[in-house]
Structure 1
Amino acid sequence: MSTNEKPMSLSDKLMAPGDGLRRWWDRLSRVQKWGFGVIGFGLLALLPLFPPPFLNTPNISFGGTMAQFAMVAIIAIGLNVVVGQTGLLDLGYVGFYAVGAYTVALLTSPNSPWNQLGPTGWFHESWAWLACVPLAMAITALSGLILGTPTLRLRGDYLAIVTLGFGEIIRLLADNLSDITNGPRGLNEVAYPRVGQSERLPDGVFSSGNSMGDANYGTWWFWLGIVMIVIILLLVGNLERSRVGRAWVAVREDEDAAEVMGVNTFKFKLWAFVIGAAIGGLSGALYAGQVQFVAPPTFNIINSMLFLCAVVLGGQGNKLGVVFGAFIIVYLPNRLLGVEFLGINLGDLKYLFFGMALVALMIFRPQGLFPARQQLLAYGKAAREFLRSPEKESAK
């Protein structure tokens, strides 16, 4: 080492693995990225069938854990559009999750006065859940539009307080409107996909009765979630590379400068809010179908903080990073479930572990484990190659 070189600090050492992986990924061509993506998601889909011993969750179904991870990953991608891409601090994102779940439950649960199953309703039992998913996304997007239109002119802490209040209002409405939501008792027997029905599984592979073997109902919900994640990643990725994505980044970096440069900041913030809300509603619909029971305690402020924690841990603005953050948020408590140390169940200390992780992250790596590298120039790679070509010709 030369005398002019400085030794790597602890912060630099923590930064190296995530940044190295990101730089390696950026150097790949689009075809190579697609190839690695297909292989990666294929291996991920096989995890519930062949769980590695070091990853398996001995005290709970690994398939169920992965199904929960898929739902939280979808939430993290939607919240990343709002927080990571646009820079809007949303502390009540769980409210959109609740709206999506209750939309499916209110339309399909026999405990709901708005139940539309059966011969006199709108839906048939075999395809009711599938029909409710786009409805849940549309209603959740509408709720995002209604909330965002009067509030997105606020910034920073003021917007965070408004969104926090929205999440609590949705939970309290679900808890107190007993004539509609059945109050704290919740809505059960929610519709789910009726696929793969047989003599052994009369209700299909997505029913809770499919609880035996590796490909249990959790595994099937995980596979469905993986398909949804891939579709959402493709759509959000195309948005990021478009004029909309560049406007989001401009708003996040400096809203006043973006406004001066002609960006309609309110419009693009509202777009991000509505798109993020729709993705949250999709995850809520998945939750309602998988659990087949929806109740207010699920949609508390603690879960909203956990969703935000997944985005911060993975790296704000990085789609794949927040998916990894969602995996940590879901996997760690399930892995430690039933593990005792000095008579303490480590699974009950998940909030302590997440708090310690966030403190360490803010000190050593505030941009997250896998920070995003934004390219505001739409054809940046082609431009760089064009600028380098005269140098190569002159060298010859």
Structure 2
Amino acid sequence: MTYWIGVATLTGIYMIAILGLSILTGFTGLFSMGHAGFMAIGAYTSALLTKTFGLPVLAGVFMGMLAALAIGLLIGYPTLKLKGDYFVIATLGIGEVTKLIIENLPDLTGGARGLTDIPKGTNFPMVLLFVVAIVILLRNFLNSKQGRNCVAVREEELATASIGANVANYKMLAMGISCALCGISGALLAHYMHYLSPTMFTMVKSDELVMTVILGGCGSLTGTIIASLILVPLPEILRFGSVQEWRMVFYGLLVVLVIIFKPSGLMGTKEFTIAGAKNFLGRFRTRGKEG
């Protein structure tokens, strides 16, 4: 039971980062391949402050969020002027540079050996509370004028600018939100694992975050949550039984099948609502009676 609570905790931690990336990639249309780097910034900031200065864990998480937000905005100002593939390449470089900086500061970060003896404090109830609060805040944001303008930037940037909206500001807003949430995710991860290593924040991790957003549906918080609940714990679920040696093959196969048969993602741009669920159940019951 303890093992599965651990898997659920890690799923919630990574879901926070994926939700943040969903705002930038799914709703604003800016693909970033380096957001694991912002997780690393949040993780190491919180870990060092709590370990060195004795800050409470929640204060460390808050400082990790601020550090990732500040660096994200600082980097975002020049890079968000880039278009398409150039922005993707720039974010990829940012993620790798962050990892290299951590590896080459052994006196501060532990270097390639990693940082040990990080104060523990992250648990499942805390992570669940963070996830629920963040989902509610993001839902309210997306229903606001600022959120709708971010979606408009994704759909048609020139048209959005032509009606007087400051496209650059909305891109910066989406970048800030995504980096802040990745910072929170990284900080929670640090205080759960009790150990940090640069290998935890490689390009592969950034790819996994982006892939989960795409599979859930670019433009759906519900899809992002569902995809996170499936893809994050899936390698651990497949670890048991006769499929243990094939678990990563099944993982990759699932991804390919979803892309082929549901190119818009599991939910597309749809969201779960109580009214929508009632309508779906009503149609299902009607078909059952007709059958």
Fold shared by both chains (TM-score > 0.5): yes
Residue number among 211, 224, 245 corresponding to 1:345 in the alignment: 245
Mapped contact 2:64–2:184 kept (Cα < 8 A): yes
* Deviation of the 1:359 alpha carbon: 2.7
Q: 2:118 is matched with which residue?
A: 190
**Aligned counterparts of 2:223 and 2:253: Cα–Cα separation in 1:** 19
Matched residue, 1:116: 53
* Alignment-derived partner of residue 198 in structure 2: 296
RMSD: 1.6
> Aligned residue for 2:21?
79
Structure 2 CA distance for aligned equivalents of residues 132 and 329 of structure 1: 28
The equivalent position to 2:261 in structure 1, one of 364, 385, 394, is 364
CA contact (8 A) 2:47 2:60 kept: no
Question: How far apart in 2 are the matches of 1:345 and 1:235?
Answer: 40
Contact 1:171 1:299 survives alignment (8 Å): yes
Which whole-Å CA distance do the structure 2 matches of 1:329 and 1:360 have between them? 13
Q: Do 1:104 and 1:190's aligned partners in 2 also have CA atoms closer than 8 Å? A: no
* 2:117 aligned partner, one-letter code: E
Distance (Å, rounded) in 2 between the aligned partners of 1:222 and 1:88: 31
Q: Is the 8 A contact 1:192 1:292 kept in 2?
A: yes
Task: Provide the C-alpha distance between the structure 2 equivalents of 1:354 and 1:167, rounded to a whole number of angstroms.
Answer: 24
Question: Aligned pair 1:314/2:216, yes or no?
Answer: yes
User: C-alpha distance in 2, partners of 1:356/1:338?
Assistant: 18
Q: How does 1:124-143 map to 2 (within 5 A)?
A: 128-143=56-71
User: Of the candidates 41, 44, 55, which is equivalent to residue 102 of structure 1?
Assistant: 44
Structure 2 match to 1:240: 142
| Deviation (angstroms), 1:222 | 2.1
Name the % identity. 36
Structure ranking higher on relative contact order (CA contacts 8 Å, 6+ apart): 2
Q: Which structure 1 residue ranges, 5 or more long, are not aligned?
A: 1-47, 49-59, 110-114, 118-122, 194-205, 207-220, 375-396
Other-structure match for 1:267: 169
Higher helix share: 2
Q: 2:235 touches 2:251 (CA, 8 Å); kept in 1?
A: no
What's 1:336 paired with?
A: 238
Q: Deviations over 1:351-386 (max 9, x none)?
A: x33433333223221111112249xxxxxxxxxxxx
Q: Distance in 2 between matches of 1:162 and 1:339?
A: 42
Cα separation, 2, equivalents of 1:131 and 1:270: 25
Q: How many Å separate the matches in 2 of 1:340 and 1:276?
A: 39
* Aligned equivalents of 2:195, 2:77: Cα separation in 1: 32
After TM superposition, where is structure 1 displaced by more than 4 Å over at least 4 residues in a row?
none
Counterpart of 1:225, as a letter, is: V
Aligned-pair CA distance for 1:189:
1.2
Does 1:146 find its partner at 2:74? yes
Q: Compute the displacement of 1:192 (Å).
A: 2.7
Q: Normalising by structure 1, what TM-score?
A: 0.66
Matching residue within 107, 111, 132 for 1:179: 107
In the aligned structure 2, how far is the partner of 1:148 from the partner of 1:266?
A: 10
Count the aligned residue pairs: 271
| Contact 2:8–2:124 (Cα < 8 Å) also in 1 | yes
Unaligned 5+ runs, structure 2? 272-291
Structure (1 or 2) with the larger CA radius of gyration: 1
